Structure formats: C-alpha cells, structure tokens
Structure 1
Amino acid sequence: MRIAVFTTCLADALYPAVARATVTLLERLGHQAVVPADQTCCGQMHLNTGYWARGLPVVRHHVETFEAALDSCDAVVAPSGSCVGSVRHQHAMVAARYDDDALAERATAVAGRTYELSELLVDVLGVTDVGAWFGHPVTYYPTCHSLRMLRVGDKPVRLLRAVQDIDLIELPGADSCCGFGGTFALKNEATSSAMLTDKVAAVTSTGAQVCSAGDSSCLMHIGGGLSRLRTGIGTLHLAQILASTREHPCPVPEPRRPARRRPSLPGAAR
C-alpha cells in the first residue's frame, strides 16, 4: 500500500522521532510512506477552544492537502488519536456550521480514509506482530481520544504484546484521564495537576521503565510529571516501540533520576 503520513504539528515541532518511527515501521512492513510537504495543523487546538471561524481555514487546508494525497495513496495514518478524532468528528461539522456543504462532504471523504496508527496496522493491514523488539518493562496508557472517540479498544495492547522480549505491565486505572486535554491543562491547572498526580502514581506503581501511549501530547504531560518527581521512568510513543528492532533498537530515554542524599559529616548540624 501507499500510505500518506499525517505527522501532526506536535510531532513536527517537538517529537520528530515519532513521525520518523511511523515511516520506518510502515516501510519495514513493505508499504510506501508518503509525507505531504504542505500539511500543517489539523485545527484541533482552534476547534477545541471555540475558535471555529479561525479554525475553518485550517480545516480546509488539511482537507485539500490530504485529498490531493489520496489521489495516489490508499489511506492516511497519524500517530495521534486526538488528531484523528478531530479529523473524523470535527472537520465536517465545522464546515457544515458555516454552510460549506461541499467542504463538509470532502472532509467526510478524507476522514473515512484516515486512521490512527493501531487502527491502520490491525484493521487495514491485518497485522499485530510487526517484527518489533524492545527488551524493557513497559506500561501502556490508552489515551482518552483513542478510547472514547475512536474506540480503538485493545489494538495498541495487542500490538505491544507481540513485541519480542517486552515486559508489558498493566497500568492501574488505565482508562482514567491524565489531565492534559490540550488547553484544559492551562485553564484548569489545579484540576489537571491533581489528575496528573494520580496518573503518575499509577505509572510509578507498575515498576516499568517506560510509559507508552499513542498520543505525544499526553506523553508530554505525563513525562513532565514523571521528570519533575525524578521517578526514573521515561516515555516513548507506541510508534517508537513498534519501530524498534534488535538490529536497530529504540534508545530508552534517560529521565531525571532521584537525587541521592549526601551523607552527613560527623558533627555536622542537622
């Protein structure tokens, strides 16, 4: 298959390794990955915050870009449940709200051929064992948009279970939100921080070396909490683990470690 990769703006700006891992994985499976050069944000940030009028041109650009890509590609994939959720559930709705029925129809067509990474692998390509190797203890957080909007179910976990030498540890309270929610974390800082505290405690309780998820945004939030508490636990996107092989392993992140207490000198004031 020839597959257009929607890298997402977060991966493009902050986590390019996630986009590269997605391409590496698809090519290892024998497919051709195409990254449209004109792609930008899908508009999720605008739409979730209520700036629909400003988000409309962003939606139009996304539709035009991937509509053109689909002339020569079989599908679109994104390593992000939240961005695919926006494409499927918001784009046509926003176009219809501003009486652009033609754009709404085109957005629906693009959305119908756009998949989150685990959906593409399991439902479209029909694989769960992608030939990955990752010899470290991992816990997986199923992000809210992938669970509740896309309903990917256990597809990511099935993919991880097939990774050679992985030690996959169940995350307590896995289906509870980490507290990010985009601008929710900014506008409701206290609530977001309390939710993050619970999620970090759950991740830490597993004894895993790595926390994985299908959304870089949630991993950014969780990773910040893990780092500030010096838990010694790092984060990796699902795509990075699935792209890892024994010959070309994905490096395990080196997070901040717990600070060592300096021994007190005899007679020193305490």
Structure 2
Amino acid sequence: MRIGLFITCFNDTLFPRTGKAVTALLERLGHTVVFPAEQTCCGQMHLNTGYQREAIPLVRRFARAFADLDAIVTPSASCAGTVRDHHARVAESAGDDRLATEVADIAPRVYELTEFLVDVLGVTDVGAAFPHRVTYHPTCHSLRALRLGDRPLRLLREVRGIELVDLPHADECCGFGGTFAMKNPDVSVAMGTDKLRHVLSTRAEVLCAADNSCLMHLGGLLSRLRAGTRVMHLAEILAAEEKAMSPARPHHRAPGARRTEHV
C-alpha cells in the first residue's frame, strides 16, 4: 500500500520529529510511505478565521499533491477533520465542479494516524516499547470531530513497558483552539491551567495526544511550572521500540527494507 504522509504545515515547521515517527512506524509495519513535496497547508487556519475564499488555492493544491495514493495519513486530528469536513464546502463555494469531484474522491482516503492503524490496517500492537508513566489527552477534534473513541488508548495499551494512567476530566478542552488562544489568551491560559491540574494529579512522566497544537499549548504551561512532565505526540510513542524485541510478542516488521519516497 502506498501511503501519503500529510505532515501538516504546523508539524513540518515546529515538530518534524512527529512526521519522522509516523514514517518509521508505517515502514515498520511494511508499507511504503510517500512524501509529496508539493503539500503545504490544508487551509484550517484560513477557514477558522473566516477566509474561505483564500483557502481555495490550498484545497486545490492538496487535491493535486495527494492524488493517486491509496491512503493519506496525518498525525493531526484537526487537519484530518478539516480535509474531510470542510474541503467539500470550499470546492462548492468556488463553483469548481472539477475540484468538487477531486475532493469527493480524495477526502475519504484521508485518515488520522490511529484510525488508520486500527480501522484500515487492523492492528493495535505495533511493536512499540516505551517504559514510562503516560497519560493521554483526547483533543477536541479527535474527540468530537473525528470521534476517535478508544482507538488511541487501544494502541497505547499494547505498548510494552508503558504505565498508562487515566486522565481525570479528559473530555475537557485544553484551551488552545487555534486562533482562540490568540484572541482570548486569558481564557485560554485559565482553561489550560485547569487541564494541567488534572495532568499533574496523574503523576505521569509524559502527556501525549493526537495533535501537537494542543501539546504545544500545554507543554508551554508545563515548562513555566517546571513540573517535570514532558509532552509527546502519540506517534512518537508508537514508533519507539527496543533494540532487541522479545520473540514472545511479534513487532510486525515486514521483510525487506522500506524507504520513504519523495514525490
């Protein structure tokens, strides 16, 4: 299966390790990862702030960059939701029938990482090993837009050595909300502080999530508190592995080396 990595502009600029982790994980599972170099932003920032017309070229570019791939996988629930839920509206507003057809074809092939692993590949044990105390924050887009449910937790529970602890009031927003944090900074910080109170109550070493945007917000607050809790994208935990894997539990490495294609 040829899988297109939609890294998102946010991750590409600030968190490139997450994209590398997704690639390493999917190649470990035996798949070819294609990185379309033409990709840029999906238009989420424009759409969230009312600039729908300005998002039209970005939707066109996305459809062009990811055409002819079996699946498009992204380590961002919010960007996956933007493509699947909003690109069709942008195409309709543009009055471009060809773009509407391209969007209708490509949107169903866009997956957030955990739903791709669980629903498409049918795996929960991806051969990961991460001996740390971890808690998981379900971001608003993963919880309410994509409705990922327990998919991330099912994957985390299979990670060797992990001590996974429940996050109290997990369904509460962290306060980031993209441009919300810039327009309402005081409210955003107050919401983040409430979330951190619950995070710290778990005594977790690591806070993970499916969106680096929320982790950036919470990580900034944690660093100011010098709490000792670090943030990691879920993909980085799932990509972690021991040098010598136990034969008792297969780690799904497919025979033969896989390389990422840049197109």
Does TM-score exceed 0.5, indicating one fold? yes
Match of 1:77 in 2: 73
Identity level (%): 59
Indicate yes or no: 2:217 matched with 1:217.
Answer: no
Query: 1:188 and 2:195 equivalent?
Result: no
The reply to whether residue 132 of structure 1 matches residue 128 of structure 2 is yes
**Distance in 1, Cα, partners of 2:240 & 2:47:** 35
Q: TM-score when scaled to structure 2?
A: 0.91
Cα RMSD after superposing both structures: 1.0
Higher relative contact order (CA 8 A, sep 6+): 2
**CA distance in 1 between partners of 2:53 and 2:35 (Å):** 27
Q: What is the rounded CA distance, in whole Å, between the counterparts of 1:229 and 1:105 in structure 2? A: 49
Shift of 1:193: 1.1
Query: 1:45 aligns to what?
Result: 45
Of 150, 154, 157, the residue aligned with 1:154 is 150
Distance 2:44 2:108 in 1: 17
CA deviations 1:114-143 (Å, max 9, x no partner) are: 100001000000000000000000000011
1:18 is matched by which residue type in structure 2? T
- CA drift of 1:103 comes to 1.1
**Superposition map of 1:7-156 within 5 A:** 7-67=7-67, 71=68, 73-156=69-152
Runs of 4+ in 1 over 2 A off after TM superposition: none
**2:2 corresponds to which residue?**
2
Alpha-carbon distance in 2 for matches of 1:172, 1:198 = 11
CA distance in 1, matches of 2:104, 2:21: 28
Q: Using the alignment, how far apart are the partners of 2:81 and 2:119 within structure 1?
A: 17
Aligned positions, number: 244
**In 1, Cα distance between equivalents of 2:223 and 2:105:** 41
Q: Does 1:164 align with 2:164?
A: no
Structure 2 counterpart of 1:264: none
CA distance in 1 between partners of 2:227 and 2:70 (Å): 43
Which one of 186, 196, 202 corresponds to residue 200 of structure 1?
A: 196
Separation (CA, whole Å) in 2 of partners of 1:147 and 1:185: 19
What TM-score, normalized to structure 1?
0.89
- The unaligned stretches of length 5 or more in structure 1 are 249-270
Can you give the 5+ residue segments of structure 2 that lack an aligned partner in the other structure?
Answer: 245-263
1:44 aligned partner, one-letter code: Q
Cα distance between partner residues in 2 of 1:175 and 1:55: 30
